[in-house]
A and B are shown apart, each in its own frame.
Chain A
Amino acid sequence: MIYLELLIGFLEVGLFSFGGGYAAIPLIRDVVLSHGWMDDATLSHMIAVSESTPGPMMVNLATYVGSEKGGMLGALIATTAVVLPAFLFILLITALLKKFVKNRHFQAVLNGMKPSIVGIIFATGVFMAMQNCFWKIESGVDAVAIALTLVLGVLYFGSRKVMEKGLTPIQLICISAGIGVLVYGI
């Protein structure tokens, strides 16, 4: 039965996908292809759609696959299944966290991990900016993207010098969408 398959398949994705959306793609690919739910080309299209719509990518992809295979109910089941493990894990950890936080060994582990994630996030951001500017176009350099990165960067970081609080992330996203339409066309 497709509903049960979706439930188990996406519970598996929710349980074993460490490290967020992009890291989960190979796992989702395995689950979807091994169940024979759809072919590789369709799945690649769905991944591209999930990347270009708002919201957590894993949730988008689960909803998409669920909806294609089992309609509204399938979408509901797949989405719930992918979210449930993360939800329960955090409830459990938060309940235990108070005890853990005072433990000095746990603190030592966090003290190693926290600076590490700052480095990882910085590298991810810089790499994304580089991909936008240099690698996506055949000539190797995308002058328009470089210009847009500079304009949006000056606008976002510079706004803090001029206005009290500066632009919010949501305002920046809206502006960038608008500029994208203006520059790349309707």
Chain B
Amino acid sequence: MVTETTNVVMPAAKTHENIEDFSVIGALFLTFFKIGLFTFGGGYAMLPLIENICVEKKKWITHEEMMDITVIAESTPGPIAINLATYVGYKQKKTVGALFATLGMVIPSFCIIYIISKFLDNYLEITWVASAFRGIKIAVALLIIDAALKMFKKMKKKPFPLVIMSLSLVAMMTINMLALRISSIVIMLTAALIGLVAFLASGNNRKEAVKK
């Protein structure tokens, strides 16, 4: 798409910008369409796809931004996938970009579910679908572990973040194993509070204030 726009002779710079706008918006839509089509089993599973496509290939956002927005997505309502699509789209092309990225994310779901609801009541009884999905579930677990490992590699290996990470891991594992009805948001908010208290206790803010 990029080569197309560069080959076309531009009558005016303005038109060139417009065409580039369209191609970025088109790329946002198609990219999130693809991500929507291959996201299975909840928001975390799409993180490796976002990392692979939006961070590594397209360089739309940095890894650090992905971390920021994942944390924010967890603490705001709504599907994490929608939060991420909206953020990446907005960063590229403001509200229009956000709209098309989100539409791209939603349309595959919408079409597939609509067709199932109208014509395929026995969707779950189709053997090859069930078989394929049993395979996909195994891949999804690996993808989520991979997302965590990549985040861990880029994390600062200081005592404070390492302790928070380990405690969160143990807490989440306990919640899962005992099937407790506690949302991960409780762990996140506790961590947020610890972060804030540690910052206030360290006296960093007072030193800074003196400098000013």
**Which of A's residues lie within 8 Å of B, judged by CB?**
14-24, 26, 45, 48-60, 63-64, 67-68, 72, 75, 79, 82-83, 85-87, 89-91, 93-94, 97, 101, 104-105, 107-129, 132, 145, 148-149, 152-153, 156-157, 168-170, 172-173, 175-181, 183-186
Contact = CB atoms under 8 A, between A and B. Distances in A.
Nearest to B78: A86
B42 A179 contact: no
In the complex, the 4 A-B pairs of residues with the closest C-beta atoms, listed nearest first: A112-B195, A180-B135, A86-B78, A55-B109
17 contacts: A19-B184, A20-B42, A57-B42, A57-B79, A59-B105, A59-B110, A85-B78, A90-B69, A90-B72, A108-B196, A119-B148, A120-B169, A121-B147, A122-B169, A123-B168, A169-B49, A173-B139
A90 B136 contact: no
Interface residues of B, number: 111
A183 B131 contact: yes
B131 A173 contact: no
A111 B199 contact: yes
A81 B113 CA distance: 16
A120 B71 contact: no
Contacts of A83: 78-79, 82, 102, 106
Interface of B: 34, 36-44, 47-49, 52, 67-83, 86-87, 90-91, 95, 98, 102, 105-106, 108-110, 112-114, 116-118, 123-124, 127-149, 151-152, 155, 160-162, 164-173, 176-177, 181, 183-185, 187-188, 190-196, 198-200, 204-205, 208
Contacts of B133: 52, 177, 180
Given A79-B106, A119-B166, A184-B134, A58 B78 contact: yes
Contacts of B110: 59, 63, 75, 79
A126 B129 contact: no
A45 B105 CA distance: 24
A14 to B, nearest CB: 5
Contacts of B190: 116
Given A59-B81, A105-B205, 20 more contacts: A17-B78, A49-B124, A53-B112, A55-B81, A56-B80, A56-B105, A58-B78, A67-B117, A75-B117, A79-B109, A82-B79, A86-B78, A109-B195, A109-B196, A110-B195, A115-B164, A125-B143, A156-B146, A157-B146, A172-B142
